[in-house]
Chain A
Amino acid sequence: MSESSKDASPSLAFKADFFPLTVIRLTDISLPKLKKMVKSTLKDAPNYFSNAPIVVDVNDIETQEQLPLSKMKIILKESGMILIGIRGLNPAMHQDAIDLDIAVMKNTRPPKSEPARQASKPTTGSNKTKIITKPIRAGSQVYAKGGDLVILAAVNAGAECFADGNIHVYGPVRGKVLAGATGDKTARIFCESLDAELVSIAGQYLIHEQIVVPDNAKSMIQISLIDDKLSIKRT
């Protein structure tokens, strides 16, 4: 007899495959708006979305309890679109979607409401002071992004130092130093001696011949912005 026919080739197989899907990103839950936008999009390409599988992205919607899922599905179907999935939906609402045969898709976009996006590094990473111990040579550039720059050596002629915050140089300054590079007017420059090619705070600058260094070699020089003008003083 044909016992073997029982173990014949299976009638179905599970395979992974990729399909491009159009995602409609919603920014609010107004149904009339949705209807209007869909209609105007279709005007340009009436057949493009005919029977098209659609995923709706609700990451930008904060109050999702009010989401009219069932009505959305109908509106889209009226225009030929088949709502098959939803992305960025609150877990509390998942069952509602499933009951309506709307699949809950993997959320590859982070929701807006999530508090201050977690940086991959700890926050001390990007705002930490950059410390340089070797002289900055001609043709070199140093940039302390998001923080202060401390240089424990000389800034040679032909070198350029930038910092979003303050710049402190424990050595002679002969090159260019630019503090408050992204516009922070409260940034300051501190140095032991000044023979710079250029100094700048938040875009206001002075070149070598305009720089007047006050006498009294006993204390540090401090450069700050007062009434949008660079002021060079001894501390």
Chain B
Amino acid sequence: MAKVIVVTSGKGGVGKTTTSASIAMGLAMHHKKTVVIDFDIGLRNLDLIMGCERRVVYDIANVIREEANLNQALIRDKNNVNLYILAASQTRDKEVLTKEGVGKIINELSETFDYIVCDSPAGIEKGAMMAMYYADAAVIVTNPEVSSVRDSDRILGMLSSKTQRAEAGENLEEHLIITRYSEKRASTGEMLALEDIKELLGVALLGVVPESDSVLNASNAGTPVITEEKSAAGKAYMEIVERFLGKRPAFDEANFNKKRGLFKRLFKKEGVTS
């Protein structure tokens, strides 16, 4: 039985697709057979980030409408044999998604995959609700600013009421990832502090991904940023996947802050204004 993970946020543009791609690739790099599904019907991006936009023949809409079977629609990643992509439709809209249609796909994928990563669109409408409905675990992507935190809170409310697990009274794993974190802006107080976000949302932190040029470069190159071993963002995603799989201890804010402090002191010493 596969574990279904939804990557969601409520707010748009915070890094869901970037995170979905990197988490899926990370799991595959740990030899887990993984499929990542794009639920953003009509505005698909996952195929671009994964670098397979020219290989999409059939998409999720074709499968739901039984115009193609799952094997015809699944695209194997060019860099990792454990990783597959199911693209969203570009020409249709979210009405094509049905609970039964999505459920059928998830069941079929569960037979052969270890992990199913669902890349949710922004908002709280059908695409987002379908992406989260069958989830066993949720990764909530949040930027360290008020509107993103408010939307993440709303999404957390929906995860605990509008999912199959919630309806059955079962627990749904919740993990928080903070993305686009800027060391500089956090220290001046422009961005919310990690402790504040954690207090407001009350969900365990899986990791912090710093704002990084490498994210844009990776999306241009069509490879998930986790494969950029030297980039700060890539390293952060690798740690996140390791924590998710229990191979690394839980995120330690105190340690993180200590490192920040050291960083700041180093720069001050060398007369560089951060």
Which residues in A have some Cβ–Cβ distance to B below 8 Å?
A: 134-135, 137-140, 153-154, 156-158
State in angstroms the CA–CA spacing of A134 and B157 once bound together. Answer: 10
Report the minimal beta-carbon distance from B169 to chain A, rounded to whole angstroms.
13
B160 adjacent to A138 (CB under 8 Å): no
A140 adjacent to B150 (CB under 8 Å): no
Q: State whether the Cβ of B243 lies closer than 8 Å to any Cβ in chain A.
A: no
15 inter-chain pairs at a CB distance below 8 angstroms, sorted by A residue, are: A135-B202, A137-B153, A137-B157, A138-B151, A138-B153, A138-B157, A139-B153, A139-B158, A140-B157, A153-B202, A156-B153, A157-B150, A157-B153, A158-B153, A158-B154
State in angstroms the CA–CA spacing of A82 and B200 once bound together. Answer: 73
Q: Whose C-beta in chain B lies nearest to the C-beta of A172?
A: B199
0/1 interface trace, chain B 189-207, chain A, CB 8 Å (1 if under): 0000000000010100000
| Residues of the A chain whose Cβ atoms lie less than 8 Å from the Cβ of B151 | 138
Q: Whose C-beta in chain A lies nearest to the C-beta of B161?
A: A140
Residues facing A in B139-159 (CB within 8 A) are 150-151, 153-154, 156-158
B202 adjacent to A139 (CB under 8 Å): no
Q: Whose C-beta in chain B lies nearest to the C-beta of A134?
A: B160
Which residues in B have some Cβ–Cβ distance to A below 8 Å?
A: 150-151, 153-154, 156-158, 160, 200, 202
Report the minimal beta-carbon distance from B202 to chain A, rounded to whole angstroms.
5
A138 adjacent to B202 (CB under 8 Å): no
| Residues of the A chain whose Cβ atoms lie less than 8 Å from the Cβ of B157 | 137-140
Q: Whose C-beta in chain B lies nearest to the C-beta of A140?
A: B157
| Residues of the B chain whose Cβ atoms lie less than 8 Å from the Cβ of A139 | 153-154, 157-158
State in angstroms the CA–CA spacing of A156 and B156 once bound together. Answer: 12
| Residues of the B chain whose Cβ atoms lie less than 8 Å from the Cβ of A157 | 150, 153
Q: Whose C-beta in chain A lies nearest to the C-beta of B203?
A: A135
Supposing A137-B156, A137-B157 touch, asked if A154 and B150 sit within 8 A by C-beta, the answer is no
State in angstroms the CA–CA spacing of A156 and B160 once bound together. Answer: 15
State in angstroms the CA–CA spacing of A135 and B157 once bound together. Answer: 9
Other A-B contacts than A139-B158, A153-B202, 6 sampled, CB-CB below 8 A, are A137-B153, A138-B153, A154-B200, A156-B200, A157-B153, A158-B154
The 6 closest A-B pairs by CB, nearest first: A137-B157, A138-B153, A138-B154, A139-B154, A140-B157, A137-B153
Report the minimal beta-carbon distance from B139 to chain A, rounded to whole angstroms.
17
Report the minimal beta-carbon distance from B163 to chain A, rounded to whole angstroms.
14
| Residues of the A chain whose Cβ atoms lie less than 8 Å from the Cβ of B156 | 137
State in angstroms the CA–CA spacing of A157 and B199 once bound together. Answer: 13
| Residues of the B chain whose Cβ atoms lie less than 8 Å from the Cβ of A156 | 153, 200
Q: Which of A134, A135, A138, A153 contacts B150 (CB 8 A)?
A: A138
| Residues of the B chain whose Cβ atoms lie less than 8 Å from the Cβ of A154 | 200, 202
| Residues of the B chain whose Cβ atoms lie less than 8 Å from the Cβ of A140 | 157
| Residues of the B chain whose Cβ atoms lie less than 8 Å from the Cβ of A153 | 202
| Residues of the A chain whose Cβ atoms lie less than 8 Å from the Cβ of B154 | 137-139, 158
| Residues of the A chain whose Cβ atoms lie less than 8 Å from the Cβ of B158 | 139
State in angstroms the CA–CA spacing of A156 and B10 once bound together. Answer: 16
Interface centre among A135, A137, A157 (most CB of B within 10 A): A137
Report the minimal beta-carbon distance from A132 to chain B, rounded to whole angstroms.
12
Q: Whose C-beta in chain B lies nearest to the C-beta of A135?
A: B202
Q: Whose C-beta in chain A lies nearest to the C-beta of B159?
A: A137
State in angstroms the CA–CA spacing of A134 and B160 once bound together. Answer: 10
Report the minimal beta-carbon distance from A172 to chain B, rounded to whole angstroms.
8
State in angstroms the CA–CA spacing of A157 and B200 once bound together. Answer: 9
A158 adjacent to B202 (CB under 8 Å): no
Report the minimal beta-carbon distance from A208 to chain B, rounded to whole angstroms.
14
State in angstroms the CA–CA spacing of A12 and B170 once bound together. Answer: 61
